[in-house]
Chains A and B, each alone.
Chain A
Amino acid sequence: QKEVEQNSGPLSVPEGAIASLNCTYSDRGSQSFFWYRQYSGKSPELIMFIYSNGDKEDGRFTAQLNKASQYVSLLIRDSQPSDSATYLCAVNHFGNEKLTFGTGTRLTIIP
């Protein structure tokens, strides 16, 4: 079992709809959770992080964390064509400086 799992997609969402990206992790000691966006040919950029159970909102983005279910998600409201990218989920175990990444979900927003 992979430590961090994401559906590779592609996930296609109409413009203006809500895109929902999901990630599960296996290490119950994981404490920090990150979402990165990566455009084709570019490096990943951090868009959200969450440490506590519940929701965290930042503009059109909402990160949701459920530690009991070992599940973290990213919602993108009012999806735009510029949101088309690969989204990487990453987790961090307390005391460990490394992040463990999923392989990413490719999201396509259809105009």
Chain B
Amino acid sequence: DVKVTQSSRYLVKRTGEKVFLECVQDMDHENMFWYRQDPGLGLRLIYFSYDVKMKEKGDIPEGYSVSREKKERFSLILESASTNQTSMYLCASRPPGAGGYTFGSGTRLTVV
């Protein structure tokens, strides 16, 4: 089974801090994604990557950046955390062409 591992299950950060969320997958998938999930708003795509060093903006990239230096690792960076970035963050990977996403267990981030 594909395993997608997110480094932290719960995280509390202060406003203005730079925050790194890490995601690692073990199945050599090209495609990796970062979503945030908020009640009533569903899953919203922040950034995705088709390959190493490739990245594309999703629907809500403002305030975020990403890094993909190795195929298995896709990092989400909150440049200067704000309270409206308090959310559940979900990483996912997908093989090319077919199949659904496999999600990580999620990181619940609280910015105070």
Contact of B100 among A49, A102, A104 (CB under 8 A): A49
Tell whether B31 is near chain A: CB-to-CB under 8 Å.
yes
Neighbouring A residues of B21 by C-beta, 8 Å: none
On whether A44 and B40 interact (CB within 8 A), knowing A98-B45, A98-B48, the answer reads: no
Neighbouring B residues of A36 by C-beta, 8 Å: 100
Q: Which residue of chain B has its CB nearest to the CB of A47?
A: B100
B94 near A104 (CB under 8 angstroms)? no
Which chain A residues in 86-111 approach chain B with CB under 8 Å? 88, 90, 97-99, 101-104
Neighbouring B residues of A43 by C-beta, 8 Å: 90, 103-106
Neighbouring A residues of B100 by C-beta, 8 Å: 32, 34, 36, 46, 49, 90, 99
Q: How large is the interface on B (under 10, 10 to 19, 20 to 34, 35 or more residues)?
A: 20 to 34
Q: How far is the CA of A32 from the CA of B97 in the complex (A)?
A: 10
Q: How far is the CA of A90 from the CA of B98 in the complex (A)?
A: 13
Contact of A99 among B41, B90, B101 (CB under 8 A): B101
Tell whether B102 is near chain A: CB-to-CB under 8 Å.
yes
Neighbouring B residues of A99 by C-beta, 8 Å: 94, 100-101
Which chain A residues in 2-54 approach chain B with CB under 8 Å? 32, 34, 36, 42-46, 49
A97 near B103 (CB under 8 angstroms)? no
* B contact residues vs A (CB 8 Å cutoff): 31, 33, 40-43, 45, 48, 50, 58, 90, 94, 96, 98-106
Excluding A98-B33, A101-B43, 13 further A-B contacts by CB distance (< 8 Å) are A43-B106, A44-B90, A46-B100, A88-B43, A90-B100, A97-B31, A97-B48, A97-B96, A98-B45, A98-B48, A103-B40, A103-B42, A104-B42
